[in-house]
Chain A
Amino acid sequence: MTIFALRSPVSGSAARLGSLKIVAVVVAVTGLVAALLAVVGVNPLAAGIAMWNASLGTPRAVGEVLVRATPLLLIAATLVPSLRAGIYNIGAPGQLAAGALAATLIALNTADLPTGLVLLFCAVGSCVSGMLIAFVPGLLKARWKVNEIISTLAFNFIVIAGLGYLLNGPMQSDFANLPQSDPLPASSSLPTIIPGTRAHIGLIVAIVAVLLLWALQRSRLGYRLRVFGANPSLARQAGVDPRRYVVWLMTLGGAGAGLAGWMQVAAVDHRLYTSIAEPVGYAGLFVALLGALHPVGIVLAALGLGMLLHGGESLQVGAGVSPEIVHVLLGLILFAYAARSPRGAALLGNAKGVMSRWSSSKQ
């Protein structure tokens, strides 16, 4: 039902109803968070202003928002095609960590090469390792119908645990007895695109991914994906090999997550930590769902989430609130989204569509 609601085409009145619902949800969630802040003795208005200033007040702050939105957008854009087909690859954290690990290893061992080459190697290496990590659950699903939610989740644990071993052992930095790698050489860091900020070329990669996603709608491949998502049995008659599509869709998500890992380690952290995938990994899936699997939607969702993540970090300074309040907020948004999908959609926006579909299928 959830998937159905996500895929169904939105008609005019349904879209109006949909935006009305979004407004209602925003009001409810904001109200809840404000009440929560008031309970712990913080002026909600002051907190709100602090967050706003922190996320959009200065060009530097905007840059920080973009830095946080970039990996989310990239992961979301590569997850959307598989989500549209009802494939839930929740392995972005593991794939991202694998990508970051590959980028770190390459960067640490190619310090003498020119920057352009290092960047290229890091990008390709991280992308391929993310794809490999996603390929295995894809193959398991295509061949033996292994549930991809469980297998990708398992891979997250495996990869993060492997990363923990490496960072506590062979790859541990000499600098301190902490689970972290040596700093990445300057030659591997990503060029910034907006002067005075940390916004880097990864943003361009993410935007290209979104544009490709948009173009997909009207292309032949996009058509086949659409049919595959709507009815795999029918897609077979259009010459689609469902098993191959499953593997490729899973692998595509891995590519995006792997690249996001490269961006995180080479442009933001400059060292590999075991916490590399937090909170970006799952948040990417969140952005894809919140953006209703639509190119424009995921851009808005990624920017919004980027603002929240960065603003939350500044709350401590600005309003004396612990940044965890942002996680509460995120949880509430996710909860509102989940509550909206299955029953809410059937009761409100889709009631008419579901009824007509239902009655036409029964008569």
Chain B
Amino acid sequence: MTLSEMTLPETTLPDTRLVLSGITKAFGSNQALGGVAVDLRHGEVHAVVGENGAGKSTLMRVLAGHMAADAGRMVLGGQQTRIDRATPGHREGIGFVEQEGGLVAELTGAENLILAEGRGFWSDRRNAGRRIQEVADRFGATVDPDVPVHALSVGERQRLEILIILARGADILILDEPTAALATQDAETLSEIVRGFVSDGGSVFYISHKLHEVKAIADRITVMRRGVVVGHHRSADVTVADLAAEMVGEIDQAGLRRLSQDRDPAPDDDLIEVALGARTQAAHRRSSEPVCVLHNVSAAAPYRGEAALEGLDLRVHAGEVVGVAGVVGSGQSTLAEVLAGLIRPSSGRVELPPGPVAYVPENRHRDAIALSLSIRDNLVLHSHRRPGFRRGPWFNRAVVDRHATEVLAGARVLGAGPEQPVSSLSGGNQQKLVLGRELDEGPALVVAHNPFRGLDVRAIQDVREAVLGACERGAGVVMISPDLDEILQLADRVVVLFGGRIIGEVGADDVDSLGRLMGGVA
């Protein structure tokens, strides 16, 4: 495929609903989008794939009117539409489901619909719930529009948000990493809704970096890398391996050289394998020595919508990776914080290793880093107590900085100094920093909660290696994730969490019983 073919979408087709061309957007010196062209037809799912920072989300924000583009054209339904300024509210006919979810948790689904329509005094309050229900029935989804959103699970919330958008009459739906936090069951329901919507003539932009998923659901796939479109395929004509190679940039020699300058080049075959979701061949390191034992532990949940632990049993041995699977909200956060020593159990016995516990929380910005502080301040969170770091009452900055630089290098966060604000790092580098900081303490237990969330393949590869490295050194690892694939790729054995208890354990190859257990069928 030549470049000219990629930059000139087929505008002449009669079933074209939307054309974006020449979209550019820069944040300071960072060119997030460099002349991107995509189009969307009636009744299709158009997937946009790419690593983190490829510009997928920025492009969609421009399309939805959340953000102004620096330059470019947009033709929506045959009409030239302004994109040089952000639209207050939403663009007519376009619904954007962002990763974080856009519903007001205190309100019910019906109230959220009323709020979104913004008709104030003239709202049709009485029929709001029924309208959501009608849309749900049309696509065979079940949802209760009359309970507060916070009482719903993550999957139900997302379903509700999509149905609200559809009830408002959107014909273009944008889904940004829709399955990032979904359990298998919810992901299937989601794809049913998407298929139903498309067969009714709706159009969907589907943002993801999970290639198997994209290949299964999309009609066309656009690959982005570093703010430009690098590939454009019909889903039926392309293999997942090709997509992975394109996404990672194996065929772009210039890009490769650029990459190898700013990081340790991992062999690209490995990266492609990570992108494809290949299983890491873990050596048998497991010993019979338990590093951590939870016996009949009950503990209160840290926030609303999360299950409390109720009589949970778990044993983690040195040198093994225990995957904790389960539907989101089954007590994963509670378990993670109990293991990290942040929640005191109300009953039961907790035997934690005497040394430090490495904790990689699920919500990086809320629990793992202080965004407004420097890299140095974020790195010495645990080590700032070390006597060697002090000179009299004050920190010995030279020693601290030497240590910080070492940790950064060890965690493969390159090109960043201790003085820089941590917010200048990409999400992947922030995660590597967190991991580097935690593993630097030489922990006997590593608790990683959804550690790959939002990371691109390179970062996933680095984080994986770091976790497995700790394992090799004799640490027990508890890896919690709603993504079964991620767990299966890394774990030696998998336990399933449901309603605050471990309801079963399966080998890493028994996917069928895993699915049943996650639904609560013991």
Given contacts A223-B384, A237-B340, A237-B342, contact A359 B32 (CB under 8 A): yes
Q: Is the CB of A363 within 8 A of B382?
A: no
Q: Give the distance in Å from the alpha carbon of A226 to the alpha carbon of B370 in the complex.
A: 9
Q: Give the distance in Å from the alpha carbon of A230 to the alpha carbon of B426 in the complex.
A: 19
Q: Is the CB of A355 within 8 A of B28?
A: yes
Q: Is the CB of B371 within 8 A of A227?
A: no
Q: Is the CB of A226 within 8 A of B377?
A: yes
B57 interfacial by beta-carbon distance below 8 Å: yes
Q: Give the distance in Å from the alpha carbon of A60 to the alpha carbon of B384 in the complex.
A: 48
B365 interfacial by beta-carbon distance below 8 Å: yes
Q: Is the CB of A223 within 8 A of B380?
A: yes
Contacting residues of chain A (290-321) with chain B, CB-CB under 8 angstroms: none
Q: Give the distance in Å from the alpha carbon of A294 to the alpha carbon of B373 in the complex.
A: 16
Q: Give the distance in Å from the alpha carbon of A60 to the alpha carbon of B271 in the complex.
A: 75
Q: Give the distance in Å from the alpha carbon of A353 to the alpha carbon of B384 in the complex.
A: 27
Contacting residues of chain B (333-383) with chain A, CB-CB under 8 angstroms: 340, 342, 359, 365-374, 377, 380-382
Interface range on chain A: under 10, 10 to 19, 20 to 34, or 35 or more? 20 to 34
Q: B27 touches which one: A219, A233, A355 (CB < 8 A)?
A: A355
B390 CB contacts on chain A under 8 angstroms: 220
B385 interfacial by beta-carbon distance below 8 Å: yes
Q: Give the distance in Å from the alpha carbon of A238 to the alpha carbon of B381 in the complex.
A: 6
Q: Give the distance in Å from the alpha carbon of A226 to the alpha carbon of B384 in the complex.
A: 13
Q: Is the CB of A360 within 8 A of B377?
A: no
A352 interfacial by beta-carbon distance below 8 Å: yes
Main secondary structure of the interface of B (DSSP, over half): mixed
Q: Say how far A354's CB is from chain B's closest CB, in angstroms.
A: 10
Q: Is the CB of B373 within 8 A of A237?
A: no
Q: Is the CB of B381 within 8 A of A237?
A: yes
Q: Is the CB of A363 within 8 A of B427?
A: yes
Q: Is the CB of B28 within 8 A of A230?
A: no
Given contacts A9-B421, A357-B371, A361-B371, contact A220 B384 (CB under 8 A): yes
Q: Is the CB of B424 within 8 A of A356?
A: yes
Q: B395 touches which one: A218, A236, A238 (CB < 8 A)?
A: A218
A357 CB contacts on chain B under 8 angstroms: 371, 423
B393 interfacial by beta-carbon distance below 8 Å: yes
A362 CB contacts on chain B under 8 angstroms: 57
Interface range on chain B: under 10, 10 to 19, 20 to 34, or 35 or more? 35 or more
B425 CB contacts on chain A under 8 angstroms: 360
A4 interfacial by beta-carbon distance below 8 Å: yes
Q: Is the CB of B366 within 8 A of A219?
A: no
B121 interfacial by beta-carbon distance below 8 Å: no
Q: Is the CB of A359 within 8 A of B421?
A: no
Which residue of chain A is the closest to B454 with respect to CB atoms? A363
Q: Is the CB of A218 within 8 A of B372?
A: no
B58 CB contacts on chain A under 8 angstroms: 359, 363
Q: Is the CB of B393 within 8 A of A219?
A: yes
Q: Give the distance in Å from the alpha carbon of A231 to the alpha carbon of B382 in the complex.
A: 15
Which residue of chain A is the closest to B423 with respect to CB atoms? A357
Binary CB contact string for chain A from 331 to 360 against chain B (1 if under 8 A, 0 otherwise): 000000000000000000000110111011
Which residue of chain A is the closest to B382 with respect to CB atoms? A238
B52 CB contacts on chain A under 8 angstroms: 363
Q: Give the distance in Å from the alpha carbon of A9 to the alpha carbon of B373 in the complex.
A: 7
A227 CB contacts on chain B under 8 angstroms: 370, 373, 377, 381
Q: Say how far A131's CB is from chain B's closest CB, in angstroms.
A: 23
Q: Is the CB of A360 within 8 A of B426?
A: yes
Q: Give the distance in Å from the alpha carbon of A218 to the alpha carbon of B384 in the complex.
A: 11
Q: Say how far B134's CB is from chain A's closest CB, in angstroms.
A: 33
Given contacts A219-B393, A237-B342, contact A231 B370 (CB under 8 A): yes
Q: Give the distance in Å from the alpha carbon of A228 to the alpha carbon of B10 in the complex.
A: 55
A2 interfacial by beta-carbon distance below 8 Å: no
B122 interfacial by beta-carbon distance below 8 Å: no
Q: Say how far B94's CB is from chain A's closest CB, in angstroms.
A: 18
B53 interfacial by beta-carbon distance below 8 Å: yes
Given contacts A219-B394, A227-B377, A231-B370, contact A361 B365 (CB under 8 A): yes
Q: Say how far B428's CB is from chain A's closest CB, in angstroms.
A: 10
Q: Say how far A19's CB is from chain B's closest CB, in angstroms.
A: 21
Q: Is the CB of A237 within 8 A of B359?
A: yes
A24 interfacial by beta-carbon distance below 8 Å: no
Q: A226 touches which one: B28, B30, B368, B373 (CB < 8 A)?
A: B373
Q: Say how far B226's CB is from chain A's closest CB, in angstroms.
A: 12
Q: Is the CB of A220 within 8 A of B421?
A: no
Q: Say how far A2's CB is from chain B's closest CB, in angstroms.
A: 13
Contacting residues of chain B (411-456) with chain A, CB-CB under 8 angstroms: 421, 423-427, 430, 454
Q: Give the distance in Å from the alpha carbon of A234 to the alpha carbon of B381 in the complex.
A: 8
Q: Is the CB of A9 within 8 A of B374?
A: yes
Q: Give the distance in Å from the alpha carbon of A356 to the alpha carbon of B368 in the complex.
A: 19
Q: Is the CB of B57 within 8 A of A215?
A: no
A21 interfacial by beta-carbon distance below 8 Å: no
Q: Is the CB of A215 within 8 A of B381?
A: no
Q: Is the CB of A230 within 8 A of B342?
A: no
Q: Give the distance in Å from the alpha carbon of A215 to the alpha carbon of B391 in the complex.
A: 13
Which residue of chain A is the closest to B384 with respect to CB atoms? A223
Q: Give the distance in Å from the alpha carbon of A32 to the alpha carbon of B329 in the complex.
A: 58
A7 interfacial by beta-carbon distance below 8 Å: yes
Offer 24 A-B interface pairs, CB within 8 angstroms, sorted by A: A9-B374, A215-B393, A218-B397, A220-B393, A224-B384, A226-B377, A227-B377, A230-B377, A231-B369, A234-B369, A238-B382, A353-B421, A355-B27, A356-B27, A356-B30, A356-B423, A359-B27, A359-B32, A360-B424, A360-B427, A361-B371, A363-B52, A363-B53, A363-B57
Rank and list the top 9 A-B pairs by shortest CB-CB distance, nearest first. A230-B370, A231-B370, A357-B423, A218-B394, A233-B367, A238-B381, A230-B372, A359-B27, A230-B373
Known: A7-B372, A219-B393, A363-B57; 9 extra A-B contacts, CB below 8 A, are: A218-B394, A223-B380, A227-B381, A231-B366, A234-B369, A236-B342, A356-B30, A360-B425, A361-B371
